[in-house]
Structure 1
Amino acid sequence: MSTTGSVKALVRDVCAHALCQTGATDPGLRLHHRLSIITFHRVLTASQRQDYPLPGLAVTPEELDWHLGYFTRHFRCVSLARARALWAERHVKGAPLLAVTFDDGQLDNYLNALPVLERHGVTATFFVPSQVLEDQRPLWYDQLATALRQLCTCIDPAAGQKGGAIGSEALHLLGELQTEQGTPRTPGPVDIASALEFTKAWTSSRREDWMRRARTLVPDPARASWDGFMSVDQLKTLATRGHEIGSHSHSHPILPQCPDDMLLDEVAGSKQRLESALGLTIESFCYPNGSTDGRTIDLVRRSGYQAAVTTEWGSNAVGADPLRLRRFDMNARNAQDRKGRLSQARLAWRMSGLHPGLGRG
């Protein structure tokens, strides 16, 4: 870290500690009478996370345990459905409400997250794309991230650079990823998370075409034993233990890009499939990538959902639109101090609405 970066990190830690010590970022003060919702994605062991191309989407079981320990001390932690019901009463007493959510229905949620949730006595909401009930292939963003990592390996001298047609075509594919200003990236390996974010502005057909060409160079690797999605029986087990199952669309597309017939299937169709497979009423929806628009929100409402969550940072005031709820995305690195230690003061500051660059809602 540069000298400037070290100074900034020190100032950040001092501010977080001072605000915590004075009680300025205390959740009971800052988030009382508000609905807070946190989101996790994957829960992987440290070695599994190293093998995953999008480590920023994963916490370890130990990190999840730390987060839930903090939250259960300062919040009343429940599923989104339960939180919504309590919040609607408008006279919740005691600790502020916090709904715990997990996106994407990954198997590691059942294997690694469930034991931690039960140890803390916390029920959560699991948002599941209905496609995974029958199709265990990775979701498109995981497929694309894996392809990006393999393409980077093709041209990385440290990994044994491949010359000739393969290396040249890999450079060409990576060169299609551009900066926000539209200027080509410098040929070579790319930051996978940033490149993936860039492709979300593409049409689905363009992403599919890019993936088709990538697969001709780097076929899908063998899938790790820990990778996959929860089964119908596992989802039913979650429900019997008090957890909520919500819809995360059918195939996890960018919903505003979908034509009307596809959007109907993604929103209403996913609800029907999950209800039929699980024998449950599905009340909550999660917009894939947090992307939404008026057409999508209107369809979510007409499909019978009672609540829907975005990826907009912040908590929710009384009277907030229940179909546009904000959430706090839990990334363990963002809760660390300058020495890499998980910091309650740092997390409290980020959620308080006082942190520069982070809204409150």
Structure 2
Amino acid sequence: MSHDTLPRANALPILTYHNIARAPRGIRRWRSLYVSPGAFARQLWLLRRFGYAGLSMSAAMPYLRGERSGRVAVITLDDGYADNLEHALPLLQQHGFSATCYVVSGSIGQYNQWDAERLGVRKPLMSVEQLREWHRGGMEIGAHTHSHPRLTQCSDVQLRDEIHGSKATLEDRLGMPVTQFCYPYGDADHRVAGVVREAGFAAATTTARGRASAGMDLWQLPRVQIARHHLLPQFAMRVMSGYEDRRG
């Protein structure tokens, strides 16, 4: 890797994953949401090889606030799929990394009701006990609303239910603070972000492309999508260079 592709000290890639599993046979749409355990393992190895610390959102907050600097990659997984516990947790632990899993509070222990019909597959979501196991394994749980709606289309009352309600439900059912938030579909505007901040979340992530850096709005942070078809050189380019920043 050439010198000009090495990471800037203040650039924090916040990686976005969904399923850490092989895509089921017969699924045609959105296969990109699946990253195989083998590919995930190689990506974590590469991060560690290049001196990155893989951190959860809360662990990365000092870097996002500009209080610390270093080679950091933030690892996030959206929706709370059971395969995250089965496949991602042991690999993260193997490398001494932590990660944040954003959970849809109204679908705990169920399946992806918001897109199962469109995708043609029901994907199991972690139960309360599985989420506790994820947390006991050194990982973080964040909120991903109550029902996974497009938040900019919600009324003010619905917004409070989806945002404040998801935080309250997760904290009540899991018995732990939940301080990180993720917008379903990356759908957010200033009104939505204001409710997230008001609810007491320390930060929130979008699907806007780019790496985060100190000084950015903590409640509208960009991320780097990692998909099934990304080979290791593509992964490195997205994480360790300005490739995603230029596409933000």
Amino acid corresponding to residue 258 of structure 1 in structure 2: C
Q: 2:131 aligns with which of 223, 235, 243?
A: 235
Q: 2:59 aligns with which of 60, 76, 82?
A: 82
Do the aligned partners of 1:38 and 1:100 also contact (CA within 8 Å) in 2?
yes
**Shift of residue 62, structure 1, vs aligned partner:** 0.3
Matched, 1:43 2:20: yes
Q: 2:154 aligns with which of 221, 241, 258?
A: 258
Percent identity, aligned pairs only? 35
Q: 2:181 aligns with which of 265, 281, 285?
A: 285
C-alpha offsets along residues 275-309 of structure 1, whole Å, 9 cap, x if unaligned? 00001111000000001011101100100000100
Do the aligned partners of 1:353 and 1:359 also contact (CA within 8 Å) in 2?
no
C-alpha offsets along residues 142-195 of structure 1, whole Å, 9 cap, x if unaligned? 22222xxxxxxxxxxxxxxxxxxxxxxxxxxxxxxxxxxxxxxxxxxxxxxxxx
Aligned residues: 247
Q: 2:44 aligns with which of 54, 65, 68?
A: 68
**Shift of residue 54, structure 1, vs aligned partner:** 2.0
- Structure 1 partner of 2:3: 23
Amino acid corresponding to residue 88 of structure 2 in structure 1: A
Q: 1:122 aligns with which of 68, 92, 97?
A: 97
- Structure 2 partner of 1:351: 239
Amino acid corresponding to residue 349 of structure 1 in structure 2: M
SS for the counterpart of 2:98 is: coil
Matched, 1:332 2:228: yes
In angstroms, what is the RMSD of aligned CA positions? 2.1
Compared CA separation, residues 96 and 113, structure 1 to 2 (3 A): same
Gaps of 5+ in 2: none
Matched, 1:111 2:91: no
Q: 2:210 aligns with which of 285, 294, 314?
A: 314
| Greater radius of gyration (CA) | 1
Amino acid corresponding to residue 23 of structure 1 in structure 2: H
Amino acid corresponding to residue 348 of structure 1 in structure 2: A
**Shift of residue 353, structure 1, vs aligned partner:** 5.1
TM-score (norm 1): 0.64
Compared CA separation, residues 323 and 38, structure 1 to 2 (3 A): same
Compared CA separation, residues 49 and 288, structure 1 to 2 (3 A): farther
**Shift of residue 229, structure 1, vs aligned partner:** 0.7
C-alpha offsets along residues 241-300 of structure 1, whole Å, 9 cap, x if unaligned? 221100001111110011121111111000000000001111000000001011101100
Compared CA separation, residues 57 and 248, structure 1 to 2 (3 A): same
**Shift of residue 358, structure 1, vs aligned partner:** 5.4
Compared CA separation, residues 49 and 64, structure 1 to 2 (3 A): farther
> In 2, Cα distance between the equivalents of 1:104 and 1:91?
29
**Shift of residue 87, structure 1, vs aligned partner:** 3.9
Q: 1:300 aligns with which of 163, 173, 196?
A: 196
TM-score (norm 2): 0.91
**Shift of residue 50, structure 1, vs aligned partner:** 5.1
- Structure 1 partner of 2:30: 54
